[in-house]
């Protein structure tokens, strides 16, 4: 499932289905003190307990993996799935399920669960927990989650039927063959029925399931029961989140030694990517996702700092500008100013903006040459990726072409070379992005300058990341924004973006369950066509036919530009040499094999 990302820091992933978009880096327990947050209390034990301290520039919104919309390492650490992914090959591997079989008609999949599984509180993890996760939570109409979008099957958006075969086997029955089934259904974090069953059934004073407010950031960490390699033990808002090795975790090595080997994982809250860089250079960070503008500096310090810089090729995922195309109203009030809405819904307007953005200058100046222009919603690592060399439409920098398109659409220029619409309204709108990520902030500043050259006045604003996500998915009251989505090899993981009823169909978002309804929301023909193609792509089992379907989706997105793609940096990360076992993957990040990693004592 696609999720929002904070920006450019390299992220490590167990690529679970409930993943959005964030990033971070790690700091050692002996890191220097930061403003308002000291690690003094960990200095004594740091030499005795192997630990990693990870940093993020965004506070967690929730500890509930279902209601979470942002890609964050927390859920990778605290929750496991039926299947895992080998970060080197991208192949599916056993996890909570030790084996699986698929019927000849491709409509029944049976998972065999490992014996003796336990939750982090020591309670048994059984097939009943798997049934609860899917039937009672994920497929529950009263519980909104982007995770369910990638499991909708066919025109009717039906979910698999999940039934118990035996004490160790669970069967998924699908109404028709569903090509991405294993990578979708097999990657859902499994939840504890004995802890959450009651809150799912109980309604709050507003008539909503109490599950929606369960495991908030104010929850006692001891009440958050998971099944991953780590369990949450302490959270201090604005400072740090501490996770410790789950003593009941199932994974062991060939000598039957329990994994993971690293006992403690600390996620440090920092103000910005600049703070992360300072801490890394001071010797505090174990891992740093490298922004292109920091690469040359860190490369010079590689030997002295005793770290290695890894290059994973072009970073998966996307960065983009998007305009709010939603014509809907709430209580009679338009979500978007009708004047602006007419601009945004004019194809020539969006195409002009794309032509006006100087991507190569962005790559040369902001990315220090360590990036590539972007044209497709799919990651370059995907076998379904379509590039310019395959005939995909691109928008090379051409401000004259941009002006020509605007004039053809009825816009004109006043005596001060300001762009005005047919009714004489100056073209002025707000562009927002998240604070804390310096590279994304710089991109916004350049876009503001680029669009000024074609007469558009852009009010560029920085917002807290969680506020930004809330506007994009709930209030829906915004003009335009710079954001990004996580990537991967399976296109259907973006179904929650491209289906018209998807939780992240943000350029024309429908309200989620329990949110105020809209009147007058309209779906464009091309928008509906992309949505239908994503349904067809999931139904199609022939690989050549799937490639043709997803090729058409990419051509449509580039023609109609619901997202104006910008550029992607290289996936670069610096890792302290004290961490043994790193198998860096541009697609799955630095620490995807966290269970196998060890800390080498000096």
Ranking 79-88, 188-197, 512-521 by mean pLDDT, the lowest is 512-521
Dmax over Cα atoms in the chain, in whole Å?
A: 79
The whole-angstrom separation of Cα 444 and Cα 456 is 14
The answer to whether residue 17 sits within a structural domain is: no
Model confidence band, residue 2 (pLDDT cutoffs 50, 70, 90): low
Beta strands in 22-117 (DSSP E): 25-26, 51-56, 83-85, 92-94, 97-102, 108-113
Q: Does 282 lie in the same domain as 145?
A: no
Q: Does 124 lie in the same domain as 272?
A: no
The answer to whether residue 10 sits within a structural domain is: no
The answer to whether residue 560 sits within a structural domain is: yes
Domain of residue 366, CATH code = 3.10.105.10
Q: Last residue of a domain, which of 166, 196, 226?
A: 196
Give percent above pLDDT 70 in the chain: 92
Q: Does 412 lie in the same domain as 482?
A: yes
Q: Does 230 lie in the same domain as 175?
A: no
Q: Does 383 lie in the same domain as 274?
A: no
- pLDDT, residue 602, reads 57
Domain of residue 303, CATH code = 3.40.190.10
- pLDDT, residue 273, reads 83
- Model pLDDT for residues 393-446, shown as the tens digit of each residue: 999 999 999 999 999 999 999 999 999 999 999 999 999 999 888 888 999 999
Residue-range definition of the domain harbouring residue 122: 83-196
For residues 491 and 537, is the Cβ–Cβ distance under 8 A? yes
Paired sense of beta strands 333-334 and 51-56, if any: unpaired
- pLDDT, residue 291, reads 85
Q: Does 280 lie in the same domain as 383?
A: no
The answer to whether residue 8 sits within a structural domain is: no
Q: Does 481 lie in the same domain as 357?
A: yes
The mean of the pLDDT values for the chain is 89
Q: Does 353 lie in the same domain as 326?
A: yes
What 8-state DSSP symbol labels residue 158? B
Q: Last residue of a domain, which of 146, 166, 196?
A: 196
**pLDDT of 378 higher than 60:** yes
Q: Does 353 lie in the same domain as 479?
A: yes
Contacts of 400 (CB under 8 A, 6+ apart): none
pLDDT mean over 557-561: 98
- Model pLDDT for residues 127-175, shown as the tens digit of each residue: 999 999 999 999 998 998 877 888 989 888 899 999 999 999 999 999 9
Nearest residue to 270 (alpha-carbon basis) of 252, 251, 289: 289
pLDDT mean over 470-474: 86
User: 438-452 vs 347-356: helix axis angle to the nearest 10?
Assistant: 110
Model confidence band, residue 1 (pLDDT cutoffs 50, 70, 90): low
What 8-state DSSP symbol labels residue 580? E
Model confidence band, residue 42 (pLDDT cutoffs 50, 70, 90): very low
Ranking 29-33, 116-120, 395-399 by mean pLDDT, the lowest is 29-33
Ranking 60-64, 65-69, 250-254, 344-348 by mean pLDDT, the lowest is 65-69
Domain of residue 119, CATH code = 3.90.76.10
Model confidence band, residue 299 (pLDDT cutoffs 50, 70, 90): very high
Phi-psi category of 417—alpha, beta or left, where left has phi over 0 and alpha has psi -120 to 50?
left
pTM beyond 0.85: the answer is no
Residue 216: count of CB within 10 angstroms of its CB:
13
The answer to whether residue 481 sits within a structural domain is: yes
Paired sense of beta strands 567-576 and 371-373, if any: antiparallel
Q: Does 349 lie in the same domain as 311?
A: no
The answer to whether residue 16 sits within a structural domain is: no
For residues 53 and 39, is the Cβ–Cβ distance under 8 A? yes
- Would you list the DSSP string of 105-143? TS-EEEEEEPTT-B-TTSPBP-HHHHHIIIIIIIT-TTS
pLDDT mean over 17-31: 34
The whole-angstrom separation of Cα 489 and Cα 477 is 32
Q: Does 489 lie in the same domain as 340?
A: yes
- pLDDT, residue 5, reads 62
Q: Does 581 lie in the same domain as 507?
A: no
- pLDDT, residue 425, reads 98
The answer to whether residue 349 sits within a structural domain is: yes
pLDDT mean over 48-72: 85
For residues 81 and 188, is the Cβ–Cβ distance under 8 A? yes
Ranking 241-255, 329-343, 485-499 by mean pLDDT, the lowest is 485-499
Residue 364: count of CB within 10 angstroms of its CB:
12
For residues 384 and 494, is the Cβ–Cβ distance under 8 A? no
**pLDDT of 4 higher than 80:** no
- The count of structural domains within the chain is 3
Q: Last residue of a domain, which of 143, 175, 196?
A: 196
User: Which residue is associated with the tokens 């072009």?
Assistant: 314
pLDDT mean over 368-393: 94
The answer to whether residue 359 sits within a structural domain is: yes
- Model pLDDT for residues 226-285, shown as the tens digit of each residue: 999 999 999 999 889 999 999 999 999 999 999 999 999 988 888 888 888 998 898 877
């Amino acid at each position: 499932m696609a999720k929002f990302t904070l920006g450019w820091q390299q992220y490590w992933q167990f690529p679970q289905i409930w993943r959005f978009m964030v990033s971070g880096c790690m700091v050692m327990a002996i890191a220097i003190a930061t403003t308002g947050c000291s690690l003094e209390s960990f200095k004594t034990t740091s030499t005795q307990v192997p630990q990693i301290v990870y940093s993020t520039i965004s506070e967690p919104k929730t500890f509930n993996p279902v209601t979470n919309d942002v890609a964050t390492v927390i859920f990778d650490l605290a929750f496991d799935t039926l299947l895992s992914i080998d970060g080197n090959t991208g192949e599916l591997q056993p996890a909570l399920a030790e084996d699986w079989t698929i019927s000849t008609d491709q409509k029944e999949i049976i998972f065999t669960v490992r014996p003796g599984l336990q939750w982090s509180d020591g309670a048994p993890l059984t097939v009943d927990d798997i049934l609860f996760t899917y039937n009672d939570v994920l497929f529950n109409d009263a519980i909104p989650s982007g995770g369910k979008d990638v499991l909708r099957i066919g025109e009717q958006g039906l979910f698999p039927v999940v039934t118990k075969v035996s004490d160790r086997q669970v069967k998924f029955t699908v109404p028709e063959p569903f090509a991405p089934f294993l990578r979708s259904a097999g990657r859902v974090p499994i939840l504890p029925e004995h802890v959450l069953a009651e809150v799912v059934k109980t309604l709050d004073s507003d008539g909503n399931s109490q599950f929606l407010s369960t495991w908030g950031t104010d929850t006692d960490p001891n009440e958050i029961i998971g099944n991953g390699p780590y369990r949450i033990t302490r959270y201090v808002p604005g400072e740090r989140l501490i996770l410790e090795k789950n003593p009941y975790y199932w994974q062991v090595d060939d000598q039957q030694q329990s994994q993971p080997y690293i006992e403690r994982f600390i996620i440090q809250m920092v103000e910005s990517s600049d703070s992360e860089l300072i801490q890394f250079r001071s010797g505090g960070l174990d891992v740093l996702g490298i922004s292109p503008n920091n690469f040359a500096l860190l490369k010079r310090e590689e030997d002295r700092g005793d770290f290695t810089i890894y290059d994973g090729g072009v970073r998966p995922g996307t960065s983009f500008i998007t305009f709010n195309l939603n014509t809907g109203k709430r209580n009679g009030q338009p979500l978007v100013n009708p004047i602006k809405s007419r601009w945004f819904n004019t194809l020539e307007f969006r195409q002009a903006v794309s032509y006006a953005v100087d991507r190569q200058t962005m790559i040369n100046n902001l990315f220090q040459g360590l990036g590539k222009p972007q044209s497709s919603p799919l990651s370059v690592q995907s076998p379904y990726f379509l590039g310019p060399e395959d005939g995909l439409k691109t928008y090379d920098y051409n401000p004259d072409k941009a002006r020509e398109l605007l004039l053809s659409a009825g816009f004109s220029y006043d005596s001060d070379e300001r762009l005005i619409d047919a009714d004489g309204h100056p073209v002025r709108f707000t562009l927002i992005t998240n604070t804390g990520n310096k590279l994304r902030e710089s991109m916004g500043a350049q876009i503001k300058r680029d669009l000024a050259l074609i007469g558009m006045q852009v009010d560029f604003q920085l917002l807290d990341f969680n506020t930004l996500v809330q506007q994009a998915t709930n209030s829906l009251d915004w003009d335009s924004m710079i954001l990004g989505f996580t990537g991967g090899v399976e296109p259907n993981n973006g179904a929650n973006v491209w289906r018209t009823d998807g939780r992240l169909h943000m350029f024309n978002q429908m309200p989620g369950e329990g949110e105020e309804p809209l009147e007058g929301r309209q779906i464009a023909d091309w928008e509906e066509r992309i949505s239908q193609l994503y349904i067809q792509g999931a139904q199609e089992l022939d690989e050549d036919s799937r490639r043709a379907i997803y090729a058409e989706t990419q051509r449509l997105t580039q023609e109609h530009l619901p997202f104006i793609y910008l550029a992607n940096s290289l996936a670069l990360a610096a890792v302290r040499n004290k961490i043994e076992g790193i198998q860096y993957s541009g697609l799955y990040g630095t620490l995807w094999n966290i269970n196998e990693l060890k800390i080498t004592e000096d």
